[in-house]
């Protein structure tokens, strides 16, 4: 645990670009597999690295730039706890990040980001309906989720590390910066 926390802290301090984050994530995965480190207790670490970097690459309407910056995690207490340990207290501009676990769909419209772990992907359509018309970035895991309407989907492998549904993000009032778009496969579909 201390190993991963120190790596995360070093990455944040150095302000490395997203490509380097992807490389470091891959190195950590290879190292942990080779050394027998149990990644089950580290669920959410890689996601928290990506989410933190993405917070600075998405522009929200002016009315969403005050108060707390809320990251909602749907359904997974373990992942929510890891993301909370990694991100709580960090800032996006002047907004302090707060991580909240949601078991239900209600209340998600107050989030800036909703992270939907892959095992809860069946809830995507209901989440999209619940936040329709609100500037909420929806991040999922797995190929094809952005085509179903999420804004960013973290991929497990491949040259491109993300799928981005730029049109769906724009329809939600969000602007994804070109730096992130260049690292992704742009897809269409969903709502």
Instruction: Dump pLDDT digits (tens) for 54-104.
Output: 888 999 999 999 999 999 999 889 889 988 988 878 999 999 999 999 988
Residue 19 has pLDDT above 80, yes or no: no
Asked, for residue 84, whether it belongs to a domain, the answer is yes
How many domains does the chain fold into? Answer: 1
- Look at residue 2 and tell me if it is in a domain: no
Structural domain includes residue 120 = yes
Phi and psi at 115, nearest 5°, equal: -105, 125
Q: What is the CATH number of the domain that holds 169?
A: 3.40.50
The token pair at 148 is 């179903």
Q: Does residue 104 belong to any structural domain of this protein?
A: yes
Mean pLDDT over 27-39 rounds to 44
* Residue 1 maps to a domain: no
Residue 113 pLDDT exceeds 60: yes
Residue at 18 is within a domain = no
**Taking Cα atoms as reference points, which of 165, 174, 172 lies closest to residue 133?**
172
Domain assignment present for residue 35? The answer is: no
Which of 54 and 23 is assigned the larger pLDDT? 54
Give residue 141's domain range: 43-186
**Rounded Cα distance, 128 and 134, in Å:** 10
Confidence of residue 191 (pLDDT cuts 50, 70, 90): low
φ/ψ (deg, to 5) at 62? -55, -35
Which pTM value belongs to this model? 0.77
Separation of alpha carbons 74 and 114, rounded Å: 7
Residue 36 is assigned to a structural domain of this protein: no
Q: Which residue has the higher pLDDT, 143 or 8?
A: 143
């Amino acid at each position: 645990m201390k190993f991963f926390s120190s790596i995360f802290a070093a990455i944040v301090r150095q302000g490395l670009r997203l490509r380097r984050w992807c490389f470091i994530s891959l190195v950590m995965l290879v190292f942990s597999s080779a050394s027998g480190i149990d990644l089950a207790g580290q669920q959410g670490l890689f996601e928290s690295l990506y989410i933190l970097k993405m917070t600075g690459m998405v522009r929200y309407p002016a009315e969403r730039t005050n108060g707390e910056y809320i990251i909602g995690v749907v359904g997974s207490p373990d992942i929510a706890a890891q993301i909370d340990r990694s991100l709580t207290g960090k800032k996006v501009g002047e907004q302090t990040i707060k991580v909240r676990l949601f078991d239900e769909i209600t209340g998600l419209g107050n989030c800036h980001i909703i992270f939907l772990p892959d095992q809860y992907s069946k809830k995507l359509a209901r989440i999209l309906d619940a936040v329709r018309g609100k500037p909420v970035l929806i991040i999922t895991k797995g190929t094809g989720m952005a085509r179903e309407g999420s804004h960013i989907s973290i991929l497990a492998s491949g040259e491109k590390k993300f799928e981005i549904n730029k049109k769906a993000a724009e329809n939600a009032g969000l602007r994804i910066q070109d730096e992130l778009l260049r690292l992704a496969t742009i897809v269409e579909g969903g709502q």
